[in-house]
Every structure is written in C-alpha cells, then in structure tokens.
Structure 1
Amino acid sequence: MQPGQMAYDRGITVFSPDGRLFQVEYAREAVKKGTTTIGLKFKDGVILLVDKHVSSRLVEPESIEKIYNIDEFIGCATSGLVADARVLVDEARKNAQNHKLTYNENITVEGLVKKVCDYKQYFTQYGGGRPFGTALLVAGADDLGIHLFETDPSGALVAYKAGCIGSGRPVVLDVFEKEYKDDMTLDEAMALGLKALAAATDDKPTPQTMEAGIVTVDKPFRRFTDDEISAFIGKE
C-alpha cells in the first residue's frame, strides 16, 4: 500500500480516493488464505467438497467442520475465518426457520443467500464492526431448480455451475474451465471435483483430509460418510 493510502484503511466507512474499501479487500485476502472449497452442479443436484487441511496428526479430523446444514434442502461450505462462518451459518439458519414459521414453506435458495449477503453488507457500511473474513458456497434445491451460490465478504453473490473459494481457487477454476460439462452424472462430478482438489492441494484427498456434502432435487442436503468418500476415491 502506498503511504498516501494508509489513512483510508483505518475505518470501514471510509472510501479511498479511487473508490476502494480497504477493510473489505483485507477480508477477501483472509478468504484467499483459507482452505480450498469446491462446489459443482451435476445433472440432479449439487456437491460440495472441502479440504480440511489437517495440520497435525494430533488433531481429531472429525472436529474440523467446514460443511453445514442450513435448511432441509440447503447446505453450505466455508473458507476463511471459521468463527466468522459459524456466525453466518447461525444467521442463515434463523432466516430459514423464520421464513418457514411465517409462510409454512421452505425458503428459496436465492432468497436465503440474499438475506445472508444483506447481513454481510451491513458490516461494510457502518462503523463499530468489521467485515466477515469468510466466504460461503451455498448449495441447495427448491421449486426453481438446483443452485450454487458464492458469497463474498462485501455482501455480493454470484451463481455458478462450478465454483471454488479459498487458496486453491486459481488451480481449481483452471481445471473446471477445461473439463466441466453440463448434465454430468454424480460419479463424473465427484471425479472432477476430486481431481481439482488434488491439483490444488498437491495431495490425493482421503476421507480424513476432506469433507463432502450433497443435495438433489428429491433428497435433502447431507454429508457424505467416510465410506462413501472412499468409494468415490477408489473409482478414480
């Protein structure tokens, strides 16, 4: 950062002369340093894959949680500051439950993501807080179809066919640009996701070092078991 710009990163509400909010950009850097998190649409649903980044053999892999259930047919995966992600997941769950109690129906995936992004945007506009240093990949199914959304610390959202957040994003997106196809089967999508995850982490994924979740048009969001992950790895 140039010396003349330093005064503009002291507060979240202050724009720099070239229209930048440096605290939001710093939050994006926290996401870039996070674990590689992948989302892929296939013919009947969406899968999420996350590198757990188990840093020591002394760590219990089960204690590292990067994929969360939000509503019956909605789940998400996170990258960045895990504690920030938990706050956003709790906020998303409250919004989903409030909608269900009020309207007696499940909230749409896009409607939920917009509410979460509105909450994130609030922390970029008012003093006394800081932006959330985390991004979410939200996967879900509703009456409008299957969806994969990426949220940004600024509160922006983008829908993807295949996306990635975290440190391995450039490598993963390069693989997806070359090899992703519409209407893939679950096996094809998992094979591509595992290949991209291996390329980003320089190591073959195992059930202990990764987490995976799935939602389809007719089955609720759930995590894969270790045995299911092992079976997909064995098919490569």
Structure 2
Amino acid sequence: MMGGNDQQAYDRGTSLFSPDGRIYQVEYAREAVSRGAPSLGVRTAEGIVFVAMSRASSTLMEAESIEKLHKLDDHLGTASAGHVADARQLIDLARRQAQGNRLRYGEPIGVETLTKFVTDHIQENTQRGGTRPYGAALLIGGIENGEPRLFAADPSGTPNEWKATVIGGGRQDIQGVLEEEWEEDLSLDEGVELGVRALAAHEDEFVPADLAVATVTDDEGYRTVPEPEVTEAFEAAGITGDEEDDAADSDAADEDDAADDEE
C-alpha cells in the first residue's frame, strides 16, 4: 500500500504512472469536467443535435457571453464541458485544422479525422513534462459523406463515437435517459426534445433561456436554434420551466385575491 508521501509524488508528475497503473493528473482533469455544466449530443436520422446548460451565474452577467456550443466549420460543431479556457484552446486548434484542410485539399475535413487530430494533441499533454492535461472535454459532431457522426474527446485523449452521450455534471442520470429513449430514426426536432428531457433528469428547474441548442444538418450546416424553437421543444417534452410555474402561481394568487375582494 502506498504511503501519503509516495502518492503525493505521483500527484505532482503529469506523466508518471502510479504503481497501480493510474495517472492521477488525468483523473483530476476528468473530475474537473464532471464539475462543469452538462452538454450533450444526439445523433438523429437528419443530423446532429447539441444541447448545453448555459445558465448565467449572476443576474449581472450577460447570458450571451456564456459559450458552450461552437461552430468549427460549416458542417461541424462542438459542445464543451469543464474549464472554459482549456476548452477554448482546443476549439481554436480544431478550427485551425478544419480551415487548413479546406485550404490544402479544397474539401471539408472528416469528423473522425478532426476528432483524432484533437485527441492526439490532448494525449500529448498526458505524457510530456512541463504541461498538464486539459481540464475539458468536447463533443464533436457533424456531417461526413452525407451521414451524421458524433464523437467525444475526454482529458485522456480517447476518441469514442456515440449515438448519444453527455459530458459534464449529472452524467449518470442524463446518460440513463439517453440510453432508454434514443432511437435510430429520431427526427431533428425529436432529438432536441430528447436532449431537453435528458437534462431535466439532472436539473428539474430551468427555462429555455438557460439552454444553448444547435444542430448540424446536410442541408443547413451548423445552425444555432433560437429560443422560441427551444420553448416549443420544452412544451413538446412536457417540461414547464420554474419561471413559468412562478408566473402561474402568481396569476392564481391574483385570481384568489380578486375573488376575496368580490366576496
């Protein structure tokens, strides 16, 4: 059994394996991701859906400054969770690679090719001195040869392809809903509704303004879904936001007061 001093030595080494085959800094980076707000991706028959919790931490914060979903190219998008600054570095790297591929070869980069380029870079930071692992995870999704594809990249640099998955906090609850309700022939709208329901399994009090939603299709490419359409998805999913509940309670109270006055 390792003593406390021995374990601390392996904690400090970014590229050192512990005797039981663990890299503690990578595990800590995964923990940083799990403490972030959740972001999920859903592959549908029509394209990719991204849904992310992007609630402002203060009423004084501009909600538009919270960026969880990003366009990488016309046919590619990404969702992030974890340390925002780390995620932005990886997103900028992915954008440069996507644009460089268009300039060199005159064609869009493949979803899998871009994902593996990013994860190779992430993995290098787990075995090189003087650096630390990225404290962020990404979902990279888009259209490749007319087919939607969705990949996840975690702080270890492992690329996995998914039909639907989530990164960030509440993973167990949200993933459970995705595994239970995902179907091969989902439409794009149904994918958005599924994403909203899945997030509700972890966070039961939120409103459409608390979410960022984007889609990637063969026809329209990357598209940010406006709030009115997100509200429609809320209603279709059978979810009522807490602000709407408060408004309903307030209206009911006003009606009761009016009735008392009449009596």
TM-score tier, shorter chain, comes to: over 0.9
Name the structure where helix makes up a greater proportion of residues.
Answer: 2
Contact 1:194 1:205 in 2 (8 A): no
SS at 2:59 equivalent:
coil
Superposed displacement of residue 53, structure 1: 3.0
SS at 2:101 equivalent:
helix
SS at 2:201 equivalent:
helix
C-alpha offsets along residues 52-104 of structure 1, whole Å, 9 cap, x if unaligned? 13222222111111100001100000000001011000000111111111111
Superposed displacement of residue 144, structure 1: 5.9
**Aligned ranges 1:50-199 → 2 under 5 Å:** 50-143=52-145, 145-199=147-201
Question: Do structure 1's residue 215 and structure 2's residue 216 form an aligned pair?
Answer: yes
Superposed displacement of residue 6, structure 1: 1.9
- The alignment yields a C-alpha RMSD, in angstroms, of 1.4
Task: Identify if the C-alpha distance between structure 1 residues 61 and 25 changes in structure 2 by more than 3 Å, giving closer, same or farther.
Answer: same
- Alpha-carbon separation, structure 1, partners of 2:80 and 2:207: 18
Aligned to 2:250: none
Bigger RCO of structures 1 and 2 (CA < 8 A, at least 6 apart)? 1
Letter in 1 for 2:87: A
Equivalenced residues, count: 235
Q: Tell me which structure has the larger Cα radius of gyration.
A: 2
Task: Identify unmatched segments of 5+ residues in structure 2.
Answer: 238-263
Aligned to 2:33: 31
Letter in 2 for 1:121: Q
Letter in 1 for 2:18: S
Question: Do structure 1's residue 233 and structure 2's residue 234 form an aligned pair?
Answer: yes
SS at 1:197 equivalent:
helix
Task: Identify if the C-alpha distance between structure 1 residues 19 and 144 changes in structure 2 by more than 3 Å, giving closer, same or farther.
Answer: farther
State the TM-score, normalized to the length of structure 1.
0.95
Letter in 2 for 1:47: V
Task: Identify unmatched segments of 5+ residues in structure 1.
Answer: none
Return structure 1 stretches of 4+ with deviation > 3 angstroms. none
Contact 1:69 1:75 in 2 (8 A): yes
State the TM-score, normalized to the length of structure 2.
0.86
